[in-house]
């Protein structure tokens, strides 16, 4: 945990010298989203997202990586792997998300599937994202329902853009309340710090490349 804190402090010091803009970023489970809660956003066609993350849980560390790719502007496909995850996500899994409806003035709707490659049940989820109007900063709310895995039941989250580079996040992942912040150093490189169950520190580094 001390190493995670030191790494994040160093990254934030480095950030003051960088200029960038916010872009789609992965959740700790690989699919685009907040911390564990998925959003209705998908990667654009030809976008490749790489991420590595670690969470210091009381029962052990959750360490993992993910690779996701935008097949089309409304369909992303990815693979994630986690080791030593204390009941969060163990082993490798495939994930796919498809944007069903993009009514930008109202809401976006997407559906996803998470397929563990080991002895776990497949999880399905649907999620709606809606941008609140009349707010000084961009605020997007997300809500949905999942049938297994990390999001097993009702989940919801709020994502607020505090600056062109910084997002603040609060979510309920169907089991725990989590909070975090995501900083986009550039359009390609981002770092996400999270407090899972408001007590366990996590850090993620992500890189986005467009073909």
- pLDDT value, residue 9: 41
Bridge partners of 9, per DSSP, are none
Task: Give every CB contact of residue 67 below 8 A, 6+ residues apart in sequence.
Answer: 30, 48, 49, 50, 51, 78, 79, 80
Are 142 and 118 contacting, i.e. CB atoms less than 8 angstroms apart?
A: no
- pLDDT value, residue 42: 96
Instruction: Find tokens 């700790």 and name the residue.
Output: 28
Task: Give every CB contact of residue 13 below 8 A, 6+ residues apart in sequence.
Answer: none
CATH of the domain at 167: 2.40.160.40
C-alpha–C-alpha distance, residues 142 and 166, integer Å? 18
b/e map 67-80, b = 16+ CB within 10 Å? ebbbeeebbbbbbb
pLDDT tens digits, the chain, 211 residues: what are they?
454 444 444 443 333 333 334 457 899 999 999 999 999 999 999 999 999 999 887 656 778 999 999 999 999 999 999 876 555 567 889 999 999 998 766 889 999 999 988 767 899 999 999 998 777 788 999 999 999 888 999 999 999 999 989 999 999 999 999 999 999 999 899 999 999 999 999 999 999 999 9
- pLDDT value, residue 36: 95
Q: Which domain holds residue 78?
A: 2-210
Are 54 and 2 contacting, i.e. CB atoms less than 8 angstroms apart?
A: no
What is the number of domains present in the chain?
A: 1
C-alpha–C-alpha distance, residues 57 and 88, integer Å? 10
């Amino acid at each position: 945990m001390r190493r995670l804190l030191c790494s994040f402090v160093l990254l934030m010091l480095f950030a003051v010298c960088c200029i960038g803009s916010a872009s789609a970023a992965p959740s700790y489970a690989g699919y685009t989203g907040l911390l564990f809660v998925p959003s209705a956003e998908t990667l654009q066609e030809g976008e490749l997202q790489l991420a590595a993350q670690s969470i210091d849980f009381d029962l052990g560390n959750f360490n993992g990586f993910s690779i996701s790719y935008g097949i089309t502007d409304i369909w992303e496909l990815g693979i994630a792997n986690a080791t030593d995850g204390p009941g969060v996500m163990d082993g490798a899994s495939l994930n796919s998300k498809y944007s069903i409806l993009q009514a930008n003035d109202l809401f976006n709707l997407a559906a996803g599937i998470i397929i563990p490659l080991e002895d776990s049940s497949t999880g399905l989820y649907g999620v709606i994202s809606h941008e609140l109007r009349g707010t000084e900063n961009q605020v997007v709310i997300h809500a949905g329902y999942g049938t297994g895995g990390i999001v097993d039941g009702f989940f919801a989250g709020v994502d607020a853009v505090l600056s062109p580079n910084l997002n603040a996040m609060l979510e309920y992942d169907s089991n725990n309340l989590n909070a975090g912040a995501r900083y986009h150093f550039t359009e390609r490189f981002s770092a996400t710090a999270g407090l899972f169950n408001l007590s366990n520190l996590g850090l993620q580094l992500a890189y986005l490349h467009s073909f």
